[in-house]
């Protein structure tokens, strides 16, 4: 297994639409295992393949504290969502350190395939429903900050770009053997 590089907003690759998985093989199993390891290491509760620059419809989720309920959703689709909505403070591994309220349906029914290609359906509410919808947005090329106002989105983008420039400068100084 390997820790994968997580793309950071506003990387344009986060806006690519993921293609359906056609082949359920060892490569897919390795991708799911690597994604799970990456998600746990980050640490997070969900990760979409888009976030690790693999543009296939694959997400992994585990909302438990003890990391005991990993679920892979391959080619997920929402069959039903409730009319009642809830606002959840969402965060994202691709938008580190940023949390904000997003309104989504409070319950969903999802159909997907497991890593072996077996279909399953799942009714979800609460945090699991939010996480499923959040990760499925990634497969459509959408990041949660796009639900926020343009002003908030631009502030977040500017902040993350500034942090990235600082990290790059720090790495350059280290490579030159300088202290910062």
CATH number of the domain encompassing residue 93: 3.90.45.10
- Look at the chain and report how many structural domains it folds into: 1
pLDDT of residue 168: 81
pLDDT of residue 164: 84
Decide if 62 is inside a domain: yes
Residue 103: domain span: 12-148
Binding residues: 92, 134, 138
Decide if 163 is inside a domain: no
pTM of the predicted model, to two decimals?
0.91
Spell out, as residue ranges, where the chain has pLDDT lower than 70: 178-180
Which residue from 140, 124, 14 is spatially nearest to 75, judged by alpha carbons?
140
Decide if 154 is inside a domain: no
Decide if 68 is inside a domain: yes
Decide if 3 is inside a domain: no
Binding residues for Fe cation: 92, 134, 138
Catalytic annotation, residues:
135
């Amino acid at each position: 297994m390997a820790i994968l590089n997580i793309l950071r907003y506003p990387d344009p690759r986060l806006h690519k639409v993921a293609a359906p998985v056609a082949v359920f093989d060892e490569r897919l199993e390795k991708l799911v295992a690597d994604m799970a390891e990456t998600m746990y290491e980050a640490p997070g509760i969900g990760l979409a393949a888009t976030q690790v620059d693999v543009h296939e419809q694959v997400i992994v989720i585990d909302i438990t504290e003890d990391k005991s309920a990993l679920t892979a959703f391959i080619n997920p689709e929402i069959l039903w969502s409730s009319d009642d909505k809830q606002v959840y403070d969402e965060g994202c591994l691709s938008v580190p350190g940023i949390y904000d309220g997003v309104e989504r349906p409070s319950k969903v029914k999802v159909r997907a395939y497991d890593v072996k290609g077996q279909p399953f359906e799942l009714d979800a509410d609460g945090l699991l429903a939010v996480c499923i919808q959040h990760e499925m947005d990634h497969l459509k090329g959408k990041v949660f900050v796009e639900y926020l106002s343009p002003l908030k989105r631009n502030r977040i983008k500017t902040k993350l770009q500034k942090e990235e420039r600082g990290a790059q400068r720090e790495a350059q100084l280290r490579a030159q053997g300088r202290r910062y």
